[in-house]
Chains A and B, each alone.
Chain A
């Protein structure tokens, strides 16, 4: 099954990574690992030192907020957003 991942522009502009990816995985963790196989430089920007999603990064699976263990269905869309924080 293919999972579509969309990344925010503030991340892709600076990391020179495409904003849309097609990867695989049955959980969000697996999806992200598949994404990191394509773009290894994204790992430290999306996950903290403990392997958790960074506190100010939001990930939605089919518009529902998800965590690293969340299930991802076939043909799901995963959207990564930065939290509305900062100044």
Chain B
């Protein structure tokens, strides 16, 4: 029995079941975009919502079924000229709760998402004037941490790292082409369209990056990146996910930035069991019918039991319960899926 929280363009849904029998609860937050799920250090589930009319919000729940809104989600200060457009990601490091947002910025909460403070060392970085949005906006969408270090991925700006708990930050993109190819001759400090980040929790300086310009690996915390695409049908995509126990890496390649669907409609997760040196189609069960749909960066999740799943922009969910050996598409259909989380 699995429970999967599905965040979509039109509300959240709770999918429960196993095998071919699944039930759907919802919509939760009807009419609202649900853009991120997370957990607070006190064990509460978190959901970020957004509305074209009413802005962003954060809700807390002890059971993913009943939710209570917080009164003060992250907000840019009056007079900043910035808009709080979307909450893209939550990350709890065991001590503090971080949120990456658009218009791009990093916020931190020390009271379980009740109140938030901006992180000025990143939000007012000396390069801020050069930050430009990607197709999805100017957004801080990935936050990873290790003792003493924090990494944030911002599109289309790049990967930043702090070695002092978030006070000072440096761009960490050497080895990755900038999104503007005209700049390749002299790599700029910013201008890198990072899409996803994954990390080895045991050796956190080992990281994997799905970028606009390909798939990359670092073994030095982001100081240098190397391209790792052997066996992939395309370097473009949004998802990069690493199983914390086995180290298996997964990604879902898409054709290209101008054609954000699987190559030839062959929707497949690709896996690597050698840290990204080589990739192959993950297991079996994939449809031979064309699947011209995308998978967004927060729409992939997995758990320790070997259950992995992802949701598509076409509103379907693919699931494996054996660490990626056999996959199946679940029957229920949803609106465009932005975020997914295996609850239990």
**Which residues of the other chain, A, contact B84 by a CB distance below 8 angstroms?**
44, 49
Q: Which of A42-87 contact B (CB under 8 A)?
A: 43-46, 48-51, 54, 56-57, 82-83, 85-86
Q: A40-B71, A44-B75, A50-B79 are in contact. Are A14 and B57 (CB under 8 A)?
A: yes
Tell whether B16 is near chain A: CB-to-CB under 8 Å. no
Tell whether B43 is near chain A: CB-to-CB under 8 Å. no
Mostly, the B contact residues are loop
Using a Cβ cutoff of 8 Å, how many contacts connect chains A and B?
A: 69
A45 touches B54 (CB 8 A): yes
Q: Which of B36-63 contact A (CB under 8 A)?
A: 49, 51-57, 59
Q: A10-B31, A14-B29, A44-B57 are in contact. Are A49 and B76 (CB under 8 A)?
A: yes
Tell whether B238 is near chain A: CB-to-CB under 8 Å. no
Q: In the complex, A10→B76 CA distance in Å?
A: 24
Contact with B along A1-45 (1 / 0, CB 8 A): 000000000110111100000000000000000000000110111
B83 touches A49 (CB 8 A): yes
**Which residues of the other chain, A, contact B165 by a CB distance below 8 angstroms?**
none
Contact with A along B70-97 (1 / 0, CB 8 A): 1111011111101110000000000000
Q: In the complex, A57→B83 CA distance in Å?
A: 16
Pick the contact of B54: A16, A46, A49, A50 (CB < 8 A): A46
Q: In the complex, A11→B56 CA distance in Å?
A: 12
**Which residues of the other chain, A, contact B70 by a CB distance below 8 angstroms?**
41
**Which residues of the other chain, A, contact B71 by a CB distance below 8 angstroms?**
40-41, 43
Q: In the complex, A43→B72 CA distance in Å?
A: 9
- State the Cβ distance, A60 to closest chain B Cβ, in Å: 15
B53 touches A48 (CB 8 A): no
Q: Which residues of B contact A (CB under 8 A)?
A: 29-32, 49, 51-57, 59, 68-73, 75-80, 82-84
Nearest first, the 10 A-B pairs at minimum CB distance are: A45-B54, A82-B53, A41-B71, A40-B71, A56-B53, A10-B31, A49-B76, A14-B29, A86-B52, A41-B69
